[in-house]
Amino acid sequence: MKRSIAAALLVLAACHSEASRTPAPAPTVVYGDTAKAQEPMKLPAPGTAPTPVTTSLAPIWDVPLKTLSGTSTTLAAHKGKALLVVNVASKCGLTPQYAALEALEDKYKAKGFDVIGFPCNQFGGQEPGSAEEIQSFCSATYGVTFPMMEKIEVNGAGRHPIYKVLTAINDAKGEAGDIQWNFEKFVISADGTKVTRFRPKTTPDDPAVIAAIEAALPTK
């Protein structure tokens, strides 16, 4: 009996030792209900990006901004990173693009990349909520962690100064001008000299967008 007890104790000690050497599982990434399928590792491989437009973005960096929580900031806080600037809305048929935007933020943030969201209510009145309502919706539904600014106008007489610069940039068809709808995207290179413009229906996880982001990342 003593031998069997001793043997059992040895087995338990060995199991405990093995368990202590087993690495802890990686923390689970929490996405909103709609975004659960958009894990970063499921993003497609990069394709071929359109040729970016070379331009001076000097006027945009120090324009005063406020986050959804009311904190004062500027795009200069993200200078040196590749950026994807996008006008967003909570009640649009394209709103599920938030999922892929968050997946891009999660995958590329450590490499020097940020998505910057600008809520806008100019397209079908599809961003009617308060800053608090927008923040709650984005967090609860899509698990958004990337920086979100206060609502702005991107077209017309009240066009925000940042969008006065961005809307002068051509897309892949050589067309500049007004933002067409919610979720139009501008990929800005980390050195602040190149911009690739994607129209709203080009999803954030399109291989061309991913290629543009990878080309825009800071070089080591």
Axis crossing angle, helix 207-216 with helix 97-108, rounded to the nearest 10: 30
* DSSP per-residue letters across 96-142: THHHHHHHHHHHHGGGTEEEEEEE--TTTT---S-HHHHHHHHHHHH
Active-site annotation holds for 15: no
Q: Classify the phi-psi angles of 156: left when phi > 0, otherwise alpha if psi is within -120 to 50, otherwise beta.
A: left
**Which residue of the set 15, 92, 120, 138 is catalytic?**
92
Class of the CATH domain delimited by 33-216: alpha beta
Task: Return the closest-CA partner of residue 179 out of 59, 47, 89.
Answer: 89
In angstroms, the CA 21 to CA 197 distance is 49
21: enclosing H helix or E strand: helix 2-21
Single-letter residue type at 179: I
pLDDT digits (tens, 9 = 90+) for 150-206: 999 999 999 999 999 999 999 999 999 999 999 999 999 999 999 999 999 999 999
In order along its 220 residues, the chain shows pLDDT tens digits of: 545 554 544 444 444 444 344 444 433 444 455 555 555 557 899 999 999 999 999 999 999 999 999 999 999 999 999 999 999 999 999 999 999 999 999 999 999 999 999 999 999 999 999 999 999 999 888 989 999 999 999 999 999 999 999 999 999 999 999 999 999 999 999 999 999 999 999 999 999 999 999 999 999 7
At residue 220, the pLDDT reads: 74
This model's pTM is above 0.85: no
Instruction: Output phi, psi for 116, to 5 deg.
Output: -120, 115
